[in-house]
């Protein structure tokens, strides 16, 4: 069996681990018995492997994929953010602020001209405006923002590209 490991933080995964992860990304509600059958393991061996993947942090949790429009969140935007200050305190203050805003579903630190990229999901333009003006520009230490609104989603995020088996 070939083990796949990429760096010091990466957990060593064999083909069976990758098969388990691929199945769980497709259907996180699959029963252990069905999962075991899909990856050609006994139920007990499959459960042990899945628990090991959870304990090692490879599987960070389970959840449901929601349709934003069906839960009243009709506007998505990607907002590039440049901080006014770049000292440790300013970076920590911004990080804490972003963590407290439910509308920010993802935040990535960037290279280049802008410091962060936020994926924001809100009800409508008024909701976005309140978030931007009152919170993001209001007291998060932000010097500049550049927003792009999602017209339609061509391919939603549905899982990671796993190494080939």
CATH number of 68-149: 3.30.70.920
Q: Give the residue extent of every domain in the chain.
A: 15-55, 68-149
Measured CA to CA, the distance from residue 136 to residue 69 in angstroms comes to 23
> What is the residue-level pLDDT of the chain in tens, covering all 165 positions?
344 444 558 889 999 999 999 999 999 999 999 999 999 999 999 999 999 999 999 999 999 999 999 999 999 999 999 999 999 999 999 999 999 999 999 999 999 999 999 999 999 999 999 999 999 998 789 999 999 999 999 999 989 999 986
Model pLDDT, residue 140: 82
Question: Token pair of 103, please?
Answer: 């509308």
Model pLDDT, residue 16: 98
pTM score, two decimals?
A: 0.87
Model pLDDT, residue 101: 97
- The CATH topology of domain 15-55 is Arc Repressor Mutant, subunit A (1.10.10)
Model pLDDT, residue 8: 58
3-state class (DSSP) for residue 81: strand
Measured CA to CA, the distance from residue 115 to residue 144 in angstroms comes to 10
Measured CA to CA, the distance from residue 144 to residue 124 in angstroms comes to 22
């Amino acid at each position: 069996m070939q083990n796949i490991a990429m760096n010091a933080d990466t957990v060593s995964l064999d083909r069976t681990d990758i098969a388990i992860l691929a199945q769980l990304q497709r259907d996180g509600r699959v029963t252990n018995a069905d999962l075991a059958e899909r990856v050609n393991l006994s139920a007990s061996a499959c459960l042990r492997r899945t628990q090991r993947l959870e304990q090692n942090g490879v599987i960070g949790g389970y959840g449901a994929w929601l349709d934003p429009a069906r839960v009243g969140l009709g506007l998505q935007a990607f907002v590039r953010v440049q901080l006014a200050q770049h000292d440790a305190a300013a970076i920590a203050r911004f990080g804490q602020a972003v963590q407290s805003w439910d509308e920010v579903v993802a935040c990535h630190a960037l290279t280049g001209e802008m410091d962060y990229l936020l994926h924001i999901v809100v009800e409508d333009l008024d909701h976005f405006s309140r978030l931007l003006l009152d919170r993001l520009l209001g007291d998060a230490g932000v010097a500049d923002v550049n927003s792009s609104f999602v017209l339609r989603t061509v391919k939603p995020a549905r899982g990671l590209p796993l190494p080939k088996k």
